[in-house]
Chains A and B, each alone.
Chain A
C-alpha cells in the first residue's frame, strides 16, 4: 500500500460542478503540498498546508491531521481547471525532510 493515496484517480465533470479530490496518508507528516500539472506538463504549486484550511480564488484545500486526510475543492469548475492534481506529504525521517507523492488525480472538466 502506498504511503499516499489519492482518490479518485480520474474524474470527469461538467463545467460549473463542485469538485473534490482526496488525499489520504498513512504516516506522520509535517505538512502537505498540493500541485497542479497542466496538460502541457508545467507544474504549479497550489497550497502548502500543515493545519486547517487555505483558499485561493476558487480553490480550497483542507487538512485533518488526526484523520490523516486532505481534500482539494474546486468551486464553479471550468475547463481550464482540467489538469492532474498531485498531493505530496512532507515527512521528517532521521532529521531530514522527505517528500512522498501521491499518484495524481486526472481531472477533466467538459464545457
Chain B
C-alpha cells in the first residue's frame, strides 16, 4: 500500500475562496483523522471518522469547516470561506483502530492570503 495520500501538497488561495483538501486512507483502516498544525497551537485533532461515520467533530474550529467521508477510500476537508488564520499544515491519518499507531499523510500546507 502507498500509505495515506493527501492532495494537494501545497495550496495558496485568497481569502474568501473555498478550499478542499483530499485524503486517501490506507485500505482496510477503519479510522480516519484530520489534524491541523500551527506554530501557535501545535497539533490539533479536528475530526475523526470510524467506518466512514463522523464520530467527534468537536475540534472543528467553526462552521466554515466541514469534512466528509463518502466511502472508505476517500475523505475531504473543506473550508468555505477561507480566512488567513486558517493557514496551517493539515494532516490526514488512518489507523485500524483508535488506540493503535496511526499512519500519517505528508500533509497539505495551506496558505490563505
* B2 at the binding interface (Cβ < 8 Å): no
In contact, A42 and B104 (Cβ under 8 angstroms): yes
Q: Which single member of B42, B56, B103 contacts A97 (CB below 8 Å)?
A: B56
**A47 contacts partner chain B, Cβ-Cβ < 8 Å:** yes
Q: Give the contact stretch, choosing among A14-22, A64-72, A99-107.
A: A99-107
Complex contact B42–A101 (CB within 8 A): yes
- Chain B residue total in the interface (Cβ 8 A): 21
B107 at the interface (CB under 8 A from A): yes
Interchain CB contact under 8 A, A50 and B99: yes
Q: Which of A52-100 contact B (CB under 8 A)?
A: 86, 88, 90, 96-99
CA distance A35 to B106 in the complex (A): 14
The answer for the CA separation of A90 and B102 in the assembled complex, in Å, is 13
Using C-beta atoms within 8 Å of the partner chain, give the interface range for chain A: 20 to 34
Instruction: Report whether A48 and B56 are in contact in the complex, using a CB–CB cutoff of 8 Å.
Output: no
- Does A45 reach chain B (CB closer than 8 Å)? yes
**Is B23 located at the chain interface by the 8 A CB criterion?**
no
> B residues touching A (Cβ–Cβ < 8 Å)?
42-45, 55-56, 58, 89, 91, 93, 95, 98-104, 106-107, 109
Q: List 10 A-B contacts (CB under 8 A).
A: A42-B104, A42-B107, A43-B104, A45-B103, A48-B101, A96-B58, A97-B55, A97-B99, A98-B45, A102-B42
Not counting A48-B101, A101-B44, a sample of 20 additional A-B residue pairs whose C-beta atoms are within 8 angstroms of each other reads A30-B99, A33-B101, A41-B89, A41-B107, A42-B104, A44-B104, A45-B102, A45-B103, A46-B101, A47-B101, A48-B99, A48-B100, A86-B42, A90-B99, A96-B55, A97-B55, A98-B56, A101-B43, A101-B45, A103-B42
